[in-house]
Homo-oligomer: A and B are copies of this chain.
Amino acid sequence: MARTPTTFDPFNAVAEPKRRKVLEVLGTQELSVNELVERLGWNQPMVSKHLGVLKEVGLVSERRVGRQRLYRVNAERLKPIYDWVAPFERYWSESYERLDDILEELKSKEK
């Protein structure tokens, strides 16, 4: 079996750093593909493809205006991620004193 498809759920769609970047740049605005191309500095097909994945999982919506397509974030679809991770939030202050140890452990393992 291969990995869970990127379009399976928001977790997988957002695992790709570039797709997170798209959502960040969009923010609360509505932007056309070309505006995204400019702000992201990627080529147009690449932007369209990532938008395609995001749209398929419902993380963005598209609105057609003339020859343009305006995209915007559907923040609600990120709620499952928030809901899953939020319960852990109360623990990293408690275990904060151990953070250094853990990072040390990771560093030494990279060798």
Contacts and interface: CB of A to CB of B under 8 A. Distances in A.
Interface of A: 3-4, 6, 9, 11-12, 14-17, 20, 23, 28, 58, 61, 73-79, 81-82, 84-86, 88-89, 91-92, 95-96, 98-99, 102, 105-106
Indicate how many identical chains form the complex. Answer: 2
B20 A3 contact: no
Contacts of A98: 74, 76
Contacts of A78: 85, 88-89, 92
Contact of A82 (B12, B14, B74, B88): B88
Given A3-B3, A14-B11, A15-B4, A82 B76 contact: no
Of all A-B residue pairs in the complex, the 7 with the closest CB atoms, nearest first, are: A75-B91, A15-B15, A76-B92, A12-B15, A75-B88, A75-B92, A11-B15
